[in-house]
Structure 1
Amino acid sequence: MTSKRNEFFDTQVLGHPSGLFVLFFTEMWERFSFYGMRALLVLFLVSALGIGGWDWPRENALALYGTYLALLYLTPIIGGTLADKYLGNRKAIIIGAIVMTLGHASMAIESNPFFLYLGLLLLVIGTGFFKPNMTSFISILYKDFPEKKDGAYTIFYMGVNAGAFLGIMLCGYLGEILGWSWGFGLAGIFMLLGLLQFTFAQGIFGDVGKKPNTEDKSIEADNHVKIEDKLNPFTIVDKALITIISVLGLTWVINDPLSKIGETNFLEFGGTDYSGHTILITLLLFIFLITSRILRYSKITRDKMIAVVIFAFFIIFFWASFEQAGGSMSIFAKDYTSRILSGNAAFIFNIVDVIITVVPIGIITYVLYLLFKQTFKKYFISNLILGFSFILIWGVVIWKIYNNFNTYSYEISYNTYTITAEDTKPIAITAETIVPENAEIIENTTVIISSNEFLKDDKISILDLDKKGTNFKYLKPEQADLINNNIPATIIRKKDNEIQIPATWFLILNSLFIIAFAPLFSKWWESKYNPKPAAKYAIGLFFLAIGFGFLAYGASGIPQGAKTASVSIVWLIFAYLFHTLGELCVSPVGLSYVSKLVPPRMIAFMFGVWYLALAIGNKTSGKMGAMIDDITTKYDISTFFLIFTVVPIVIGIIALLLSPVLKKLMHGVK
């Protein structure tokens, strides 16, 4: 086996095995697909029917979003176990990629609810096979070269962020500009290309990952723990409780959006909704189970496991707030942020957008060139597919740049009517409006943005997106034929170059800031000023709070109950900056401490606990995000973001206060 592993290191790219970059690009296209779809999901669900959305209430969209994210963190426990026992890493990765490709293909038929739900289900299942096995595959490949492992994971992590960056930017752009199925479809295309590229390059890994890994997976635990661990097997009661907790928890997670969307409530009996009772019972049973397991160990082992539970508690609050990015913060970008730029502002934004798009892709293309030099002949088909992927990426990027520099605003006129005696607000006259006899016709003007060329007095059709007379969209003739409430309009004049920043664009800032700041944080962690684990959590939570503080301040002028506004984009940019800084503090702490602190027999169980904490945090993000309308109606949207400012500060202070306790519980583990 060692000789096979050594072959993996025969060819070098940037000082690392070329095989690592096969994994780099596979992971990059998978993350491209995942984040591209994630950027569009909530926006698609809440967008108007006239532009292909489903016009869902925000509460329903965020409930589905939260459940989807929660399930994504539960299935890897199953997928990792199946790979370890039966499949092997490589087969599990391929199965996961195939299932996810089918999921993205299903979501491209977004007009049919069945296919969207099927797509989400397949993505959850596929991620369960793919996600845990890519990271463990690297660990196994580098087993005989531990000194190279940190560098390998750094390269791999850059692939994750490069994929997220490109997926959000390009899938989001196509989805919002051309149509939702274009964005969902592009995600599926690159998932398929990533699958094919990996499949045809498997020879580079030798025999590693073909079969289940039966080698010793020892972790950092002293001998008395290993001996003691054999005396604490899982009892029948433990296994029964795990089954009950799993069933009740999954039922509650799935029932939440189902009861809102499909009006089917599995937890309603005799006219009473027992959803709250169900999750409370599940939580109490879980606390009893984990407490009873921990108490069976000696004091040192018990203390270390308690430390893991405390860390998991902190992580729930972090991700419950952080994952507002794809939910309520996307809604804020769409409905409350001034995203229309004209003149010099539009030109400057386009230049900046070109730089932050082209430079990263240029760097990754150079890496691809270096990989080609090492492996092109030996893995011709895989490299051909990879080359085609980049031709496609550059094609979409060039079209995006061209479209942004050739988008104009047009002043247009359209007719409305009002019944003066009743003093009603002017109502737009659509293609099918029957105007009352006593109505007064009033000509209104507005501005639309389009890359189409129009002349003065051209007749077009527009759509009132928010039905408030403030946000209109140009409809192509084929779209207008399908939409009864389109409004006939006339071109008055062409204005300056003008663009509308896609709401999904702001999501790329997270990946961009990670790429920019990760090296600085890495040096911080390696210095003598490296904070203790609890302090890292606290700092991360404080950064998170600062980000939401900017949003709360920026939204302070929005009146109570408002559904739309035009807040400066600066506040969202600052929010994403500080949220990313918070993520960089929290992300290095987690799973490594689970592996260091937990005894062997409990390692799988405690990893499950950790992923469960992530699932709870992500589901909570959807539940809390769904409160946006209620809080905005009763108070205002600034108050909504103020909640996410205060809660992380409180939890961060608790983390700091517990730092001495955690240090003691960890018994010298660093």
Structure 2
Amino acid sequence: MAAEVTTTNPDFFKSKVLGHPSGLFVLFFTEMWERFSFYGMRVLLINFLTMAIIGNNPGWGWSAEQAGALYGTYAMLLYITPIFGGILADKYIGYRWAVVIGAFIMTLGHASMALEGESFMYIGLGLLVLGTGFFKPNMTSILSEMYKSFPEKKDGAFTIFYMGVNAGAFFGMMLCGYLAEKVGWHWGFGLAGIFMLLGTLQFWLSKPIFGNIGEVPSKEKKAAAAKLASESKSEDDRPNPFTTVDYILIAVSTIIGLLYAFNDPLSKIANINIFKMLTIGKVDGSIVAILIGLVVFLFVVISRLSRYSKVVRDRMIAVIVFAFFTIFFWMSFEQGATSLVLFARDNTQRILNGNSALIFNIVNTLLTVIPLLIISWVLILLARQTWNKTPWANIILGITFLGVWGTAIWMLNYDWTSHAYAVKYKAVETPVMDKETGKQKMDDKNQLVYSYTPVTETYVSNPTDKIVDREVILSSKTLYEVGQEIKVHPELDNFIILSAEKENKIRSDYQTHTKDSQIATAQITEIRDNQVEITVAWFSILNSFFIIAFASVISKIWDSRYNPPAAFKYGLGLIIMAIGFGLLAFGAYGIQEGVRVSMVWLIFAYLFHTLGELCLSPVGLSYVSKLVPARMIAFMFGMWYLAIAIGNKLAAVLGGQIENITNQYSLSTFFLIFTIVPIAAGLIVMSLHPALKKLMHGVK
């Protein structure tokens, strides 16, 4: 009990929820809303940027390569700005103010993205990067400070906090994605911003719960920390100050890295190449620049390592080795934000009819309602403990949950009450020829293969055209009668039924872009059982769901006698994740253009990606804290986040090549890249176990 006297708030543990201080659950919900907004926006971005510029829900019509370049720079900067945000909070503004400032800036970013216009999109992304820099590192800092006198409760606290992260990601991608795809992109971007704003308010109004925790560091506190550092007598803690040359070289490599990050989307979207003068023959100038920056950076790292004592140097080398293989993991895993979004949209069978639609609606209802009931119960427990201290924070939190429940009920009602119709339309039937043999292609049932082009209102007839009747099952919220004539529009190799308002809007867009209208006339032939079109964003929630489902199981394995060394956990993480891509490569093997693969392949891919993440992701940060002396932890965490930033950028750059690689080779070949490379990396890091064990000097 003596430990309670040392905490910054002696009464902190008197107000408990599920055995933990109520302040933990304030952080839980704050992080939940931030992750809701972050992942809600993230799951939309690539889809929005690459969606056709004319349609029911038009986007910007970018190529996957252009969209990947922009997203990659955004994702890269998200892991770099927190390095500076953590420093500012530590020295000047305190953790709590940093969280509030970051959340407010991110709210402005989401608001900007909800507005029409290209400039608002870029401003919004910039604000999100800046806000994340303040927010991301300081939530965990507050949590660490809360439990500094109660280390035995820290693991449990971080587990609960991590559940908040995944709950936010789960509902953000589900609800923002659904609203954006069914109503309009800016509704999805806007919903993310609304919950970010409300989450900020509830955190700020909960100030009385935290006491002095997260406040601006006092002069006395800074002096005590400095004294503690200066009193260290250990050879391993011997100071190794940065020299002037170090600072200059770090600045040079940083500038080159940032210029490359911005040059990538500029060169692919606006055809502006900052590094054009560095081009050597066929080697692009940006590649030359990044190689120069890499050489400079490696020189700094090697020169600094040489100045440490042997034990510290060896352990830091081990951390750098782990960081290097982390790049390969995130390079593949983060395909979930780019290429897998496009694969779900363009190549996965997302339309279900009859019993399949019924089963999906039941499963989706349970997936939505059960987690919401559990989290709402936690909200009620928190309100009971904190109502007297922070009534307005609880009111704001209650409003957010009313909003989530309302959106979720609207989503479920939309799917349960949609009507399905058999629709007949006219199409031009054309034989599909094999380029190699010059003969008409045959399918796996030895049937001749044809392509069908809808007869639109701008169609000009040709005497040789063979016009046939085609039937498709479409869903709509509107009630139609058998025999009724309707207007349809092709989108993503399917059709949508147009309301009068949508029809007028699309006609206007065709005129604006001086393109021939693709609107076609069709007829309702039969009223069918319910049909559901699964949103693209729905598949992205699987990662969060599987984390919540399997995290405790994996954690128990690591706590048992089967706990493998770090190198083997890394290798297993990479190989298990690669199996997921292998399944996608197998599922996509030999598919023809216009044919979609079963959603089962994507579900299993996300399962294996999540299991790989649970093997590898927690290990890295844990070993940074174990292997690095306390005075260098901040610097090495910065190095670690830099590795993740590079992995995210590479993921988006490679993910943006899905169209190019598919056109030149095949979709299966694209996924094989992310199967073979991580497996090779996993086998290499496992083979390095004896060397890494030696470098770690007894740390387990």
Q: Same fold (TM over 0.5)?
A: yes
User: Is the partner of 1:483 in helix, strand or coil?
Assistant: helix
SS at match of 2:482: coil
Whether 2:219 is the aligned partner of 1:216: answer no
Conserved 8 A contact 2:351-2:532:
yes
What secondary structure, in the 3-state scheme, does the structure 2 residue paired with 1:5 have? coil
Structure 2 counterpart of 1:147, which letter?
Answer: E
TM-score, normalised on structure 2? 0.90
- What is the match of residue 98 of structure 2? 92
Q: Does 1:104 align with 2:115?
A: no
Which secondary structure does the structure 1 equivalent of 2:289 belong to? helix
1:540 CA displacement: 0.3
Partner in structure 2 of residue 228 of structure 1:
238
- The equivalent of 1:435 in structure 2 is 460
Aligned runs of 1:24-103 on 2, under 5 Å? 24-49=28-53, 50=55, 51-103=57-109
1:487-545 per-residue CA deviation (whole Å, 9 max, x = no partner) reads 34332322221111111111111111111111111111222221111111001011111
The reply to whether residue 619 of structure 1 matches residue 649 of structure 2 is yes
Task: Please tell me whether residue 481 in structure 1 is matched to residue 481 in structure 2.
Answer: no
**Residue 456 of structure 1 aligns to which amino acid in structure 2?**
V
Q: Give the conservation status (yes or no) of the 8 Å contact 1:447–1:472.
A: no
Specify which of 185, 192, 198 is matched with residue 187 of structure 1: 192
**Which amino acid in structure 2 is aligned with residue 86 of structure 1?**
Y
Name the residue aligned to 1:342: 353
Post-superposition offset of 1:270: 8.4
Shift of 1:477: 2.2
SS of the residue corresponding to residue 56 of structure 1 reads coil
Is 1:23 aligned with 2:27?
yes
- Counterpart for residue 389 of structure 1: 400
Gaps of 5+ in 2: 432-449, 508-516
Task: Decide whether aligned partners of structure 1 residues 243 and 271 sit closer, same or farther in structure 2, where only a CA change above 3 A counts.
Answer: closer
In 2: Cα distance, 1:236 partner to 1:600 partner: 23
**Aligned mates of 1:132, 1:478 — CA distance in 2:** 47
- The 1:143–1:437 alpha-carbon spacing in structure 2 relative to 1, beyond 3 Å, is closer
Q: For 1:479, give the aligned amino acid.
A: K
Q: Do the aligned partners of 1:172 and 1:505 also contact (CA within 8 Å) in 2?
A: yes
Task: Sort the Cα spacing of 1:419 and 1:573 in 2 relative to 1 into closer, same or farther, 3 A.
Answer: closer
Match of residue 501 from structure 1: 534
Q: Identify which range, 60-69 or 546-555, moves more after superposition.
A: 60-69
Aligned position for 2:319: 308
Q: 1:240 to 1:178 in 2, by over 3 A?
A: same
For residues 589-642 of structure 1, give each alpha carbon's deviation from its aligned partner in whole angstroms, at most 9, with x where no partner exists: 112222222235543332221111000000010111122122212211111111
Match of 2:364 in 1: 353
Distance in 2 between residues matched to 1:162 and 1:411, nearest whole Å:
38
SS of the counterpart of 2:529?
strand
**In the aligned structure 2, how far is the partner of 1:588 from the partner of 1:425?**
49
User: Is the contact between residue 237 and residue 631 of structure 2 (CA under 8 Å) also seen in structure 1?
Assistant: no
Change (3 A) 1:271 1:429: farther
Give the match for residue 676 of structure 2. Answer: 646
Deviations 1:240-283 (A, max 9, x none): 01111111001101111121112222121388741110111111
Structure-2 change in CA distance of 1:418 and 1:355 (3 Å): closer
Residue 642 of structure 2 corresponds to residue 636 of structure 1? no
Aligned amino acid, residue 276 of structure 1: I
Instruction: Write the letter of the residue equivalent to 1:133.
Output: N
Instruction: Verify the 8 A CA contact 2:179 2:187 in the aligned structure 1.
Output: yes
**Alignment correspondent of 2:633:** 603
Contact 2:627–2:696 at 8 Å: present in 1 too?
A: yes
Question: Residue 557 of structure 1: SS of its match in structure 2?
Answer: coil
Q: 1:669 — aligned with what?
A: 699
Q: 1:259 aligns with which of 254, 267, 270?
A: 267
User: Which residue does the alignment assign to 1:472?
Assistant: 495
Summarize the Cα distance change of 1:465–1:665 in structure 2 as closer, same or farther, 3 Å threshold: same
* Cα displacement (A) at 1:419: 12
Q: Partners in 1 of 2:682 and 2:553 — Cα distance?
A: 22
1:417–1:427 CA contact under 8 A, matched in 2: yes
How far does the alpha carbon of each residue in 1:30-59 deviate from its partner, in whole angstroms, 9 at most, with x for none? 001111111111111111221221121111
Give the structure 1 partner of residue 380 of structure 2: 369
Answer whether contact 1:418 1:439 (CA < 8 A) is retained.
Answer: no
Q: Deviations over 1:198-249 (max 9, x none)?
A: 0111110001112136353979x984245522xx210011000111111100
1:163 counterpart = 2:196: no
* Identity over aligned pairs, percent: 55
Query: For 2:384 and 2:142, how far apart are their aligned partners in 1?
Result: 24
Equivalent position amino acid for 1:37 in 2:
M
Aligned residue number for residue 114 of structure 1: 119
Query: Hey, what does 2:573 align to over in structure 1?
Result: 540
Decide whether the 8 Å contact of 1:417 with 1:439 is kept in 2. no
Tell me the distance in 1 between the aligned counterparts of 2:309 and 2:69. 42
> How many angstroms apart in 2 are the aligned matches of 1:3 and 1:443?
76
Give the deviation of 1:323 after TM superposition.
Answer: 0.3
Alpha-carbon distance in structure 2 between the residues aligned to 1:112 and 1:488: 32
- Deviation of the 1:570 alpha carbon: 0.9
1:165-192 per-residue CA deviation (whole Å, 9 max, x = no partner) reads 1111111111111111111111111101
Pick from 285, 288, 303: which aligns with 1:292? 303
Do 1:308 and 1:594's aligned partners in 2 also have CA atoms closer than 8 Å?
Answer: yes
